[in-house]
Amino acid sequence: MHIQLRKVTLPDFGKPTTEPTLTAPLYEQRLARLRVAMRAQELDFLVIYADREHNANLTWACGYDPRFEEALLLVDHHHTPALLVGNEGWGYAELCPAPIRRILYQPLSLLGQDRSKSPALDHILTTEGVQKGQKVGIAGWKYFSEGEFSAPEHCFETPSYLVDALRHLVGTEQVFNANALFMNPADGLRILNEAAQLAVFEFAACITSNGLKNVFQNLKPGMTEYEAAALMGANGYPHGAHTMLSNGHRAAYGLPSPSMNTLKMGEPFTMCMCLWGALNSRAGWLVHDATELPEGVQDYLEKLAIPYFRAVTKWYEHIGIGVTGGELYDIIHGEIGDPFFGVQLNPGHYIHLDEWVHSPVYKGSKVALQSGMAIQVDVIPATGTAYHTSNIEDGIALADEATRRELAEQFPETWVRIQARRAFMRDVIGIELKPEVLPFSNIPAYLPPYVLRPEQVLVVDRG
């Protein structure tokens, strides 16, 4: 496979004119699926915890996302779920799209606010039906393995007051970590997405990818990192992670937020924008061509960027329904497994409202990919050398024929953009996707290694 640098015109894949939404009937279907999963684990009761950063499981279940406070959702097998909120969440919860019952639990409120009008948590839980001997699950945002703890099913990342209250009511050994219901990599409830949810994620990806595209087209040395990041054009859509953009020595770390640092020619550069369900990231050098690279790394294209792009191309062309995570792992490490590249994190993972739900991509993984999965093309060399890195992180989804038909019929704007991206990747970049692979990014597989010349990108030359 021959990879070369070529001048490419990036099409305008468009901005959405309508916003996909999740309806009350969809949340009712989710509740039914959740109860089936609870029965399979013999859970009598489920308590879902959320805060401003760790909201994804609760938001999936009912559509409510905490802003300043925490929240709890109580789910049994017979009643409408009860949503516990604090003072400021009480009114906001009226916007919840799912059928819920509101309960005011003021200790969820911020410090200094009134706490005199709500009963104790034990009283609320017993009133809702929690009792001795029941098997109760708690879901927050993480579960554990036997390699980490001797009894991982009884280990919790959620607040002590919640765990303690439930253990007091039902018995210490009757409270279980239930996050795997939502997040296990094979068939977690948030791993297999409905067509409507995929359309929502594609909507967000238009914002993030257009944001990075605008940076590429308008970036200039002498700008501060803040000025460069402002080009992303954040519009208020909820963030899934902090915006990242850095130039110079901090770029090697990838994660820093922008600063007043001035962008300088000849230095490494990285940027990332993440909203609920969508993340796009790029990395390279703030130069026009190899002659402006620092001495000793002027072979950056041949030594790092081209092998990296070849590996990602093979990843793209292999992924599909039925492919195992282990196969994707082997592809990447077969191409850039040399210690120089420093690929340490999983080369691909699931994305949802949280940027990283889980990953099926690890050595020896037998997890077979399925329709409905939203996946990040996330392969990041961490060379730890003067060569810096390269990055072409975008989101895709896998969709069987029925899901593709549903997307085309119910979300025609979304479908037109997806088809245009597939054609661009095939006809211009040279990457042939399987029919079930749906690219969500408006900069699909678009990698300019020299950031100041964004029209020069890596492509596959099959001639």
Nearest one of 204, 254, 210, 197 to 373, comparing CA atoms: 197
pLDDT band at 1; cut points 50, 70, 90: confident
Q: What is the mean pLDDT of residues 414-428?
A: 98
pLDDT (0 to 100) of residue 402: 98
Domain boundaries, the chain: 2-10+190-461, 42-177
**254's tokens:** 């990838």
| Helical spans, DSSP H, in 113-172 | 121-127, 160-170
Residue-wise pLDDT for 356-397, tens only, equals 999 999 999 999 999 999 999 999 999 999 999 999 999 999
Give residue for tokens 């609760």: 58
DSSP lists the bridge partners of residue 85 as: 104
Give residue for tokens 């916003």: 19
pLDDT (0 to 100) of residue 267: 97
Tell me if 2-10+190-461 shares its fold with 42-177.
no
Q: What is the mean pLDDT of residues 284-310?
A: 97
Residue-wise pLDDT for 25-50, tens only, equals 999 999 999 999 999 999 999 999 99
Domain spanning 42-177 has what CATH number? 3.40.350
State pTM to two decimals.
0.97
Judged by DSSP in three states, 351 sits in coil
Q: What is the mean pLDDT of residues 155-176?
A: 98
Nearest one of 275, 276, 273, 298 to 285, comparing CA atoms: 298
Percentage of the residues of the chain whose pLDDT score is greater than 70? 100
pLDDT (0 to 100) of residue 292: 97
Domain spanning 2-10+190-461 has what CATH number? 3.90.230.10
Rounded to whole angstroms, how far apart are CA atoms 311 and 439? Answer: 17
Asked if residue 238 has pLDDT above 90, the reply is yes
Residue-wise pLDDT for 108-163, tens only, equals 999 999 999 999 999 999 999 999 999 999 999 999 999 999 999 999 999 999 99
Centroid of chain to Cα 58: 16
Q: Rounded to the nearest 5 degrees, what angle is found at the Cα of 318, between the Cα atoms of 338 and 345? A: 40
Rounded to whole angstroms, how far apart are CA atoms 140 and 134? Answer: 19
pLDDT (0 to 100) of residue 462: 77
Q: How far is CA 116 from CA 93, 176, 214, in A?
A: 20, 31, 51
CB count, 10 Å around CB of 133? Answer: 9
Residue-wise pLDDT for 179-235, tens only, equals 999 999 999 999 999 999 999 999 999 999 999 999 999 999 999 999 999 999 999
Q: Rounded to the nearest 5 degrees, what angle is found at the Cα of 422, between the Cα atoms of 419 and 424? A: 110
Angle between helices 325-336 and 306-318 (to 10 degrees): 160
Classify each residue of 410-426 as buried b or exposed e, where b means 16 or more C-beta atoms within 10 Å of its C-beta. Answer: ebebbbebbebbbebbe
Q: Which helix (H) or strand (E) holds 308?
A: helix 306-318
Average pLDDT, the chain: 97
- Quick check: 154 and 177 in contact, CB under 8 A? yes
